Amino acid sequence: MNMKWKLIIFTLIFFLLLTNIPQTAEASVSVSARNAILMEQESGRVLFEKSAHEKRRIASITKIMTAILAIESGKLEDMVTISERAEGTEGSSLFLKKNEKVKLEDLVYGLMLRSGNDAAVAIAEHVGGSLEGFVFLMNEKAREIGMANSHFANPHGLDDSDSHYSTAYDMAILTRYAMENDTYKKISGTEVHHAPNPTEKWDRVWRNKNRLLTGLYDYSTGGKTGYTKLAKRTLVSTAMKDNMNLIAVTLNGPDDWNDHIGMFEMAFKKYEMVKVIEAGIIAEIDEDFYKQKVYFEHDYRYPVTSEEKEKFQVDMKLQTPKQEWEEARNIPTVVGKATITFDNKMIKELPIYYEIDDSEQLSLFERFKNLFTAMIGVNNNG
């Protein structure tokens, strides 16, 4: 057999094998970014990742940390005096002027919508006492919420330090934390903000740079853009559809708008939120002491594909009732826990609560009497 026929046969075999390779239900999403992650907000489940734990420069998405610290400071109504250091900050700017007074809340809007580096320094000096003091707070918060591979050296993300970095995963963790705050969520999702201008007759008007939010993507709920020469384009964005809230992060993403839309659309098509735990009385509990008295305080939902719905297991453990519980006031609020596993991995533990009403307090002694009588066998042995 000559080489020509060998080549033809080899090619035919190759394509036959290729067409018989099992295909996944959904093609994996493709992103331009060097680092990327897609996380479901409620559960924290990672739905897509690409080099998500690699330490990288992050540019102005740094300001998510600056914003949440300012909000949590409780000082949003304070008037902030702009320093010379803040006025002279390079890069994107709100064009703040030395000695003018601006409400801290307005500075946070300018920080998030227009990415004002001068606002970042003004916020840092006011909330942290100094820029350096604020950076200390940034790193303390990072450790507190589990950003294990991050370090902050400034409040704005400029390329002025090699020790300023994070990861796509850590920035998703930060955004998940921040989105639990209603004030942050409102600011992050604002398209236009008007702020008084103390030196002019007209208000300052700041329009959000996040094109996903301002018209490019219908399900966008907020986020933060970023760019420096060394970090390149960085982007954090959030989206919501059918009660599924998503967080997307890309670092060094030349086509980041489409990267985020692609990740969001993949998740909205492929996953659905399944209610694993429902708030309210736990009907499955039929033990006399706990029946109709124990409950879950909140729903717990988790994103799954249609093929994954049978992979959950819920194990509930309740404390053995104690004799001192004869007095209702001695019964603890939390009497057990539910452990949720998914695909044989523990994903969540939820407390089980006990509820006592007035009639319960009146009949409690009798129920304990019956319970402990049964335990020592009096009912059976006389």
Catalytic residues: 60, 63, 115
Pairing of strands 244-251, 35-40: antiparallel
Query: CA-based angle 205:208:214, to the nearest 5?
Result: 120
How far is 86 from 125, CA to CA, in rounded Å? 9
H helix intervals, the chain: 3-19, 63-72, 84-87, 104-114, 117-128, 131-145, 168-178, 182-188, 256-270, 358-375, 378-381
Query: CA-based angle 286:289:293, to the nearest 5?
Result: 75
Residue 40 burial (CB count, 10 A): 21
- What Cα–Cα distance (Å) separates residue 310 from each residue in 137, 144, 279, 317? 43, 34, 21, 21
What DSSP character marks residue 212? Answer: I
Tell me: is residue 4 an annotated ligand-binding position. no
Torsions phi, psi for 112 (to 5 deg): -80, -40
Give the N- to C-terminal CA distance of the chain in Å, as an integer.
97
Token code pair at residue 79: 């008037």
- What Cα–Cα distance (Å) separates residue 87 from each residue in 16, 104, 118, 142, 267? 67, 15, 6, 27, 43
Strands of the sheet containing 334-342, edge to edge, are: 280-281, 294-296, 345-354, 334-342, 312-318
The binding site for substrate consists of 224
Annotated binding site: 224
